[in-house]
Amino acid sequence: MLRRSEDEIKIVLTRPLSLNGELEVDYKAPNLIQRILSLFKNVRPGSDLTHFKLPPQFNFPKSHLQCYGETVYCSGSDMLRRCNQADNSLDRFMSVVAWSISTLRPPIFGVAPYNPILGETHHVSRATLNVLLEQISHHPPVSALHATDEEHNIELIWCHQCVPNFNGAWVETEVRGKRQLKLLSRGETYEMNSPNLLIKFLPLPGVDWAGNVTIRCKENGLEAELRFGTKSFFGLRGSHRSVKGKVYETATRRTLFQLNGHWDRTVTAKDNNSGKSRVIYNAEEVFSGLKTPVVKDLKGVRSTESAAVWSELSEAIMSQNWEKAKEAKNAVEEKQREVLRERELKGTTWVPQHFSVTYTKDGGWECSPIQQWVPPAPIVLPLS
């Protein structure tokens, strides 16, 4: 924890999620069954949970923005740079598929990150990769990400809207919006979506990524379809954290590779021509040696930084002080409501600082970064 004396800004950073879905900090939440039963009292089947507020006992000490950012800048192996290294377009596409799988993180059952407030930001650098996120909408919650590596000519643009729905015995969160990975020196743009997050309460509690992901690149005419599987409702069938799919030519629909494996272990690609298989993704490489981000320039940290906005709440959760946690969470939410009331009195509209945003009923939310390159961040990820 760091504090900037002149305006008392406090920064609390925690270790990234491990392959086991664990945090560096060890905190004990109240009884899980009691927490689940308390939720059933407040929601009904079919309820829209977009604006539902979890008590702090259900939170772990991170914001959604931090979780999104960590999928990009926290990795034991630099799979993002590999996407731009191969001279063969098919090899680059396979690297993009592997990198897309690497952005999944093991969710923790029973707890969730904080819902970001409007205008909240998260800015972290890893070597020459600079990552900046901003919460561009609060109702509904929409997050934008821009990451650039000027040295390796890579750019990422994401726009995510999470829409959770309660279905009685489970909650399914649809992650709407697209991700773009641009290999600028190759003139290629890869578009992809995210699987949904499925949280089951009964009969066997569990949480997993599920659904279909499509990855396509118009410039090289290649496409991939991935299916992320989970166990059946009763846990008797299905494959936990499985990945199955194929890579094919968009124009001819001719399958080039069959994909099979598990995103928390390995994924292999079988060449349809030769019949040979090779490992394209290894989770141990991705999750090995993960470091906790550190503050390099405390004065450069924005007051809107996630690690500052939620610092009091994160401290309280890590110390298991639930009364203080409740007060800290209420304080952040009340400040947000106060800012909203002030804007309404003045008749002003909030405008994102780092993204241009559009919304249509047909196309959903779209965002484009204002800056061409993300500047180096005051918070950095140690490489060793």
**C-alpha span between 316 and 301 (Å, rounded):** 22
Joined tokens for residue 83:
């996407």
Q: Which residues have C-beta within 8 Å of that of residue 11, sequence separation ≥ 6?
A: 1, 2, 3, 4, 295, 298, 301, 305, 307, 308, 311, 379
Within 8 A by CB and 6+ apart from 348, the residues are: none
Answer yes or no: are the C-beta atoms of 286 and 306 closer than 8 Å: no
Omega within 30 of 0 (cis) for the link into 45: no
Exposed (0-12), middle (13-18) or buried (19+): which is 326, by Cβ within 10 Å? Answer: middle
Rounded Cα distance, 190 and 299, in Å: 36
pLDDT of residue 199: 87
Q: How far apart are CA 270 and CA 192, in angstroms?
A: 22
Distances (CA, A) of 68 to 7, 60, 63, 124: 28, 15, 9, 12
Q: Which fold has domain 32-229+239-286+366-380?
A: Porin (2.40.160)
Rounded CA-CA distance 321/214 in Å is: 43
pLDDT of residue 18: 82
Given the structure tokens 């292999």, which residue do they identify?
268
Query: Which residues are registered as beta bridge partners of 84?
Result: none
Angstrom distance (rounded) from CA 198 to CA 256: 30
Q: What is the pLDDT of residue 383?
A: 84
Distances (CA, A) of 82 to 27, 92, 225: 37, 8, 21
Given a contact cutoff of 8 angstroms between Cβ atoms, the answer to whether 199 and 233 are in contact is no
What residue spans define the domains of the chain? 32-229+239-286+366-380
pLDDT, residue 21, reads: 67
The pLDDT assigned to 322 comes to 86
* One pLDDT digit (tens) per residue for the chain, 384 residues: 655 554 578 999 999 988 876 665 545 555 666 566 555 555 656 555 555 567 888 898 999 999 999 999 999 889 999 999 999 999 999 999 999 999 999 888 888 899 999 999 999 999 999 999 999 999 899 999 999 999 999 999 999 999 988 877 788 899 999 999 999 999 999 999 999 999 887 777 888 999 999 999 999 999 999 999 986 555 555 568 999 999 999 999 999 999 999 999 999 999 999 999 999 999 999 998 889 999 999 999 999 999 999 999 999 999 889 899 999 999 999 999 999 999 999 999 999 999 999 988 877 899 999 999 999 999 999 986
User: What pLDDT is stored for residue 97 in this prediction?
Assistant: 98
Do residues 41 and 90 touch, judged by C-beta distance below 8 A? no
Whole-number pLDDT of residue 37? 59
- How are beta strands 294-295 and 379-380 bridged, if at all? antiparallel
Distance of alpha carbon 197 from alpha carbon 163, whole angstroms: 10
Residue with tokens 């029973």: 110
